[in-house]
Chain A
């Protein structure tokens, strides 16, 4: 008889905050086959465009996901704005960038914590999330929500940040950076952590390209591509280089995300320094018509909003192709031959966001 264990993994599982399911076939602890399953969070919100006006749909878009919520709102708005040819004020662009980068920090910190939890490092998880709270406070004080901001609207943003608050944000970032260093050093240097990460789940550059990985997943495999370089929002005014690592293992992916946190901190400082005065919202009239693919760099990688409008207030189609969705084939690839103990590591290093994936 076979020496293979066949067990379900998830959807309810303590290391997976979100429901994803894997059929695992194991030999001892070695994964010989793993088929992921999604659909536990599928709501079908893309179809809501038929019931919600396109201006209202922002509220739905930003509830695609509570982690990368802000950029969903922003991406959707950007797509519609581009279809309609609206040019939003520069200050709004900066504000959007600021929140987007703060979101990236919060998202990466959240991920670092979850990763630590998955490899059994509870105290590291706690400290990562402790730091993250400071960013959430910034969110709440500037937008009114810790998770869902509701500040993006077609044509600009709803809320402004005054100069003092802006300084305050930079101060928070500065203070955080020091503490963060202590934590990230543990990820980078600690023996037990490296034991869990180095050489685990290797995705070569070639493979990464073939399976169409995106975001940190791709950059950790040595592919230099970052959608922020497209220059949407205020990125065209800012100075940064995509973070790239070459090893393609879990460790490299961790490094990429860690370095991206610091990068985001830098971008926030740049934003604060360069932020112009002015309006935060451009009034517009009319209905959109046309279609467009809009690409943004979410914390987890390239996201694509496809909007097709027909000149009425109800859009024909909105489709969000999220980074996790594209990273699932990559997940499949790295799951082959890893250990059961690595499975959470694998799942987490694509930084899965299931609600994004399934919408």
Chain B
């Protein structure tokens, strides 16, 4: 039973080991082996606990004290770093939080009865699989990436041992979050992810990195503060300290508004929703594997994980409206802002924020259908987004730029990477692929829950999503006969990592009905006392699969087409002033001028600063109003 702790302890140990390894090949062996073991372990555990689930209680005082000790140590560490960089807000937040939680821990927590510190249900299994598989693959990918990274950036000190240490600790903490049922445990791991992300973002120690890392720290600490407050409230007032008790309590009509709001704030900040979205954009300064980790499988997913967990609680009160509104607004505005970006990672960041907004909105609605959709979104997003990050990272290292404009004609320059990206992008928004299926389910859920405003936001938001993804896709497929192939040597690690991702993106689309039947629905049945079955009908699934089949035939068709074609190749249309090779035309002065085709960014129209101000103000207003409503309702 305790074997489950392997998931937490093993990555931790690996991380510690890596901290002391400075030799590349040893590190490679350790990381590969650890990743392999983690993947196997996640799968085995899923199989093992698929039917039975697990409720494990470890009445071990020393664990709690250990946690307290670590927490205090980390608090001291944070304070020290903050003092060093002359940042005082984090100090304040750290102190308040640590005080609250310790005070609660020592004064009251003994009186709350804990049935299970660790609970595994089908939802946890999904999260374990995501973290285990995607997270490990990212770590493997990071091996080569970081090597190149330091090769390119001599100004940055090589602290790869620390980097890999953090990656694995992160995984460990993430497993901790999804396994914990005891809120105090969860809080512990939650804070660890905060600190890890803080350190990862600040990895390069450049000014901008430091600045952004503190931004992330402050926002996450703020959320952590909400978490701590919620724990305290729950412990004192409701006398529970377990996550899985919440839905039942909510259904029995116990007033849970305040903790719901507080937990929601924690979840929103971690999942980078407006007004907290700033940290995630800032996190882009970190090396790509850490972005991939933060944005796809861990960190932000921890936020939505919490929200989905408490979703049944949210559905009953204004906290639900809070979450729904914040999610909805974030979804819409972030996808509009993504339109204005040409930096590949920035687009991915906005898209992450936006997609998480959708998941958050699903959680906020809190109905059977919406949670169904939300969980599906988590899965598909994790895979496809991770794939995108990794591809962008590799492309950046191959061409020296991650700007989408520079990816013009990637299909010629780096066909393999272009293919990866095409799969990733298709996975993010295109018809028979995952995200779209989930969006479809979400749409249905929103309509059925009569939240017409959210429906409206969804339709407009997905239209904008379509815009920025397709224009990226367009850049990739632009074909110019004269482009040179860029010699890119993908290492085995990269291949394995990205290849698996790509494969998963496609495979999961085929098996999503099974995921629905065997993972999501059983979980929802326990949460809601009724059985509603699949959100998407069988007939439609069949048609979807047919479509998917058709789409998958495209590469094959392309090869046949290209082989059979008999086109006469001519120059492209330039009003007659071609210079022969489609790249140059004769300009007004009679000289050769380079044709350049840029995408649209409409910066005036979807002004980033303006939209984010609007978003931050409205979401803050929503949060504040509802927070005080909650307070008022209680007082």
Q: Do A and B come from one complex?
A: yes
Contact B593 A12 (CB under 8 A): no
Taking a contact as CB atoms under 8 Å apart, the answer to whether B575 and A23 are in contact is no
In the complex, whether A279 has a CB less than 8 A from a CB of chain B is no
Contact with B along A12-31 (1 / 0, CB 8 A): 11000000011100111100
Nearest Cβ on chain A to B554's Cβ, whole angstroms = 28
Let me know if B484 is at the binding interface, CB within 8 A: no
Among B577, B586, B599: residue with most chain A CB under 10 A: B577
The answer on a CB contact under 8 Å between B576 and A28 is no
Complex Cα gap A97–B132 (Å): 90
Residues of A within 8 A of B600 (CB): 28-29
> Which chain A residue has the least Cβ–Cβ distance from B594?
A6
Question: B587: which A residues are within 8 A, CB to CB?
Answer: 8, 23, 35, 37
Question: When the two chains form their complex, are residues B588 and A21 in contact, meaning their CB atoms are under 8 A apart?
Answer: yes
B532 at the interface (CB under 8 A from A): no
Alpha-carbon gap, A3 to B343, bound state (A)? 11
A35-B594 contact in complex given A1-B401, A13-B575, C-beta closer than 8 Å: no
Cα A44 to Cα B401 with chains together (Å): 50
Q: Is the CB of B342 within 8 A of A1?
A: yes
Contacting pair A37 B588 (CB below 8 A)? yes
B403 contacts chain A at the CB level, 8 A cutoff: yes
Quick check: is A66 within 8 A (CB to CB) of the other chain?
no
* Known A5-B598, A6-B596, A12-B576: A37·B342 in contact at CB below 8 Å: no
Complex Cα spacing A36 to B401, Å: 33
Report whether A11 and B577 are in contact in the complex, using a CB–CB cutoff of 8 Å. Answer: yes
Q: Chain B residues near A9: list those with CB within 8 A.
A: 575
Question: Which secondary structure dominates chain A's binding surface?
Answer: strand
Residues in A neighbouring B577, C-beta threshold 8 A: 8, 11, 21
Complex contacts, B586 vs chain A, CB 8 Å: 8
Min CB gap A11→B, angstroms: 6
Complex interface: chain A residues within 8 A of B585 (CB): 8
Is the pair A7, B342 in contact by a Cβ cutoff of 8 Å?
no
- In the complex, B60 has a CB within 8 A of chain A: no
- Interface flag for B58 (CB, 8 Å): no
CA distance A21 to B403 in the complex (A): 31
Alpha-carbon separation in the docked complex, A3 to B401 (Å): 14
**A208–B588 CA distance with the chains assembled, in angstroms:** 24
- B593 / chain A contacts, CB cutoff of 8 Å: 6, 8, 23
Interface string of B579-621 (1 = CB under 8 A from A): 0000001111100011111111111000000000000000000
* CB under 8 Å from chain A, chain B span 129-187: none
Q: Is the interface of B mostly helix, strand, loop or mixed?
A: loop
Q: Decide: A4 near B598, CB < 8 A? Known: A11-B577, A12-B575, A23-B593.
A: yes
Question: Is B405 at the interface (CB under 8 A from chain A)?
Answer: yes
Contact B596 A22 (CB under 8 A): no
CA distance A3 to B601 in the complex (A): 8
What separation, in Å, do the CA atoms of A72 and B613 have in the docked complex? 61
B601 x A28 contact (CB < 8 A): yes
Docked complex: A12-71 residues within 8 A CB-CB of B: 12-13, 21-23, 26-29, 35-37
Kindly identify, within residues 342 to 381 of chain B, every residue whose CB is under 8 Å from any CB belonging to chain A: 342
CA distance A10 to B585 in the complex (A): 11
Beta-carbon contact of B599 and A3 below 8 Å: yes
Once the chains are docked, how many angstroms separate the CA of A28 from the CA of B585? 20
Q: How far is the CA of A37 from the CA of B589 in the complex (A)?
A: 7
Query: Closest approach, in angstroms, between the C-beta of B472 and any C-beta of chain A?
Result: 14
State whether the Cβ of B406 lies closer than 8 Å to any Cβ in chain A. Answer: yes
Q: Are A21 and B575 in contact (CB under 8 A)?
A: yes
- What's the nearest-Cβ distance from chain A to residue B30, in Å? 39
Which of B403, B589, B602 lies in contact with A1, CB distance below 8 A? B403
Residues of chain A within 8 A of B575, CB atoms compared? 8-13, 21
Q: Is B631 an interface residue (CB 8 A)?
A: no
* Chain B interfacial positions (CB closer than 8 Å to A): 342, 401, 403, 405-406, 574-577, 585-589, 593-603
A residues engaging B (CB < 8 A)?
A: 1-13, 21-23, 26-29, 35-37
Complex A-B, nearest 5 residue pairs according to Cβ-Cβ distance, in ascending order: A37-B588, A1-B405, A12-B576, A6-B596, A35-B588
Listed by A's residue number, 15 A-B pairs whose Cβ atoms lie within 8 Å are A5-B596, A5-B597, A6-B595, A7-B574, A8-B574, A8-B587, A11-B576, A12-B576, A13-B575, A23-B588, A27-B601, A28-B602, A29-B600, A35-B587, A37-B589
Besides A1-B406, A3-B599, 19 other A-B contacts (C-beta < 8 A): A1-B405, A3-B405, A3-B601, A6-B596, A8-B574, A8-B575, A8-B593, A9-B575, A12-B575, A23-B587, A23-B593, A26-B598, A27-B598, A27-B601, A28-B601, A35-B588, A35-B589, A36-B588, A37-B587
